[in-house]
């Protein structure tokens, strides 16, 4: 079967940027030294999720919520088809994957908002607990989502990870999307670059982080001399 373009350029940029940002958030989450970088990545995740919500209404066919949000009945039928050995194939997101997307967006926004409130000291102390619970729940959904992608790739004999890189999946010509919106993807990349450059937190950027690390080493050396 021929391949067709299913995932537009902005959707792919969003997906892999969210993967990288979310990974960075968990790596820096428990480190005071990398706190500013953690905050920056939190801003990036919040911005990416807001973009995805907008793109769910304005994007290409398979990126729109209207294409893949089908309700509990569709999810049940899809799971039953997997158990029956006759799995439904969806060119875009399958119903189970759609549920994961909604959970990730919701938990990500809760985690971002509570993280910002904690950082700015604008709320009660229990917000930090909410932030951690939402972040850990998001991690659990990510793990289930990755396992689902691997399982679907094996069941349908198609590389879904590669499809999110190239944008292409096996399908009939008339079912592909006509536009990939490269300008929108470029603007999304530019916005992330601008956030990295002008983020409203201290010592952000390669120079700032390096300077901060060197300062920590100097302070540690002074303490040893004392």
What tokens were used for 143? Answer: 């793990």
Give the global pTM.
0.86
Low-confidence ranges of the chain (pLDDT < 70): 1, 199-226
- Residues 174-199 pLDDT 10s: 899 999 999 999 999 999 999 888 76
Could you tell me if 203 and 212 are in contact, meaning their C-beta atoms sit under 8 angstroms apart? yes
Question: How far apart (Å, rounded) are the C-alpha atoms in residues 23 and 91?
Answer: 27
User: What is the pLDDT, as a whole number, of residue 155?
Assistant: 87
User: What is the pLDDT, as a whole number, of residue 36?
Assistant: 86
Sequence-distant (6+) residues with CB within 8 A of 199 are 39, 40, 43
User: What is the pLDDT, as a whole number, of residue 32?
Assistant: 84
Sign of CA dihedral 112, 116, 122, 124: positive
- Residues 94-132 pLDDT 10s: 999 999 999 999 999 999 999 999 999 998 999 999 999
Could you tell me if 131 and 107 are in contact, meaning their C-beta atoms sit under 8 angstroms apart? no
User: What is the pLDDT, as a whole number, of residue 143?
Assistant: 96
User: What is the pLDDT, as a whole number, of residue 225?
Assistant: 53
């Amino acid at each position: 079967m021929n391949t067709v373009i299913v995932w537009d350029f902005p959707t792919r940029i969003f997906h892999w940027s969210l993967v990288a940002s979310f990974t960075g958030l968990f790596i820096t989450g428990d480190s005071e030294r990398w706190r500013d970088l953690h905050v920056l990545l939190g801003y990036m995740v919040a911005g990416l999720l807001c973009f995805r919500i907008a793109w769910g209404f304005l994007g290409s066919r398979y990126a729109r919520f209207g294409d893949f949000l089908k309700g509990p009945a569709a999810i049940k039928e899809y799971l039953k088809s997997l158990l029956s050995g006759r799995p439904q194939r969806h060119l875009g997101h399958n119903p189970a994957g759609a549920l994961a997307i909604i959970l990730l967006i919701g938990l990500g926004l809760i985690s971002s908002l509570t993280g910002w409130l904690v950082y700015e000291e604008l709320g009660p102390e229990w917000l930090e607990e909410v932030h951690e619970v939402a972040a850990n729940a998001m991690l659990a959904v990510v793990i289930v989502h990755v396992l689902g992608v691997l399982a679907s790739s094996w069941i349908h004999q198609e590389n879904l990870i590669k499809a999110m890189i190239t944008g292409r999946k096996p399908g009939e010509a008339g079912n592909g999307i006509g536009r990939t919106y490269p300008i929108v993807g470029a603007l999304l990349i530019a916005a992330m670059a601008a956030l990295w450059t002008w983020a409203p937190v201290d010592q952000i950027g390669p120079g700032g982080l390096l300077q901060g690390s060197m300062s920590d080493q100097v302070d540690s050396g002074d303490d040893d001399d004392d």
